[in-house]
Amino acid sequence: MITIQAQKYDGKPHYTWQSELLDLNDEYVIVLSYPETEIKHFSKNEVFTANNWWIELYPFEKWFTVSMEVEDRKPRDIYCNIAKPSNYTNGLLTFIDLDIDFVKRDGKWKVLDEDEFEIHQRKYNYPVEVVNKIWETLDDLQFNLKNKRFPFDDTLEKYISKIPNYKT
């Protein structure tokens, strides 16, 4: 198991959880989070519990993460965090959450947390380069979704077979 920690722009923990490492290469880490996984949300001082399996992608050079919820061995919802590139060292995976999310829920894609972005952009004084990269990354994700390119090219779906034979 590895520890995953999302951080805010100032480096403070935002939320953390444990996952099973499925793949580690020069480009990304892929993990499997189990149902009943506890997610500690530092910003809200709460603990949440995952309901289903999640296959998660953390690129080392791209400005996003992707979490695909799996129910009955089929992809369900997809959650893309716009984030600074992930880091992985000695069992700890970290990334800086940059607020904007691109999410598929109930079959529909939408952009979330633009209000949170506006607040944090001022609070943390995001540099212009970071703000530009956030919107560029969102545009890239939308383009890649439309054209079935990474990470929407079945990269994550092939890991569904790694889910143990438990019922979700």
pLDDT tens digits for range 133-162: 999 999 999 999 999 999 999 999 999 999
Within-domain flag for 108? yes
* Structure tokens belonging to residue 48: 């949440």
pLDDT band at 165 (very low <50, low <70, confident <90, very high): confident
- Do residues 2 and 92 touch, judged by C-beta distance below 8 A? yes
Distant-in-sequence, close-in-space partners of 157: CB < 8 Å, separation ≥ 6: 68, 75
61: which DSSP letter?
A: S
Residue 46, Cβ density class (10 Å: 0-12 exposed, 13-18 middle, ≥19 buried): exposed
Nearest to 60 by CA among 34, 98, 32, 30: 30
Locate all alpha helices (DSSP H) within 31-127, ordered by sequence.
114-123
Within-domain flag for 168? no
- Do residues 53 and 67 touch, judged by C-beta distance below 8 A? no
Instruction: Look at the chain and report how many structural domains it folds into.
Output: 1
Query: What tens digit of pLDDT does each residue of 94-138 get?
Result: 999 999 999 999 999 999 999 999 999 999 999 999 999 999 999
For residue 41, which amino acid is it?
H
- Measured CA to CA, the distance from residue 57 to residue 38 in angstroms comes to 18
Within-domain flag for 61? yes
- Measured CA to CA, the distance from residue 93 to residue 58 in angstroms comes to 8
Range of the domain at 130: 2-162
**Which three-class secondary structure state does DSSP give residue 113?**
coil
Q: Would you tell me how many other CB atoms lie within 10 Å of the CB of residue 10?
A: 10
Within-domain flag for 29? yes
Query: What tens digit of pLDDT does each residue of 9-37 get?
Result: 999 999 999 999 999 999 999 999 999 99
Within-domain flag for 101? yes
Q: CATH number for the domain including 120?
A: 2.40.380.10
pLDDT, mean of residues 47-67? 97
Within-domain flag for 40? yes
> Does pLDDT of 167 surpass 80?
no
- Do residues 7 and 14 touch, judged by C-beta distance below 8 A? yes
Within-domain flag for 26? yes
Looking at residue 168, its pLDDT comes to: 47
Of 16-20, 90-94, 164-168, which gets the smallest average pLDDT?
A: 164-168
pLDDT, mean of residues 38-62? 96
pTM of the model: 0.94
Within-domain flag for 167? no
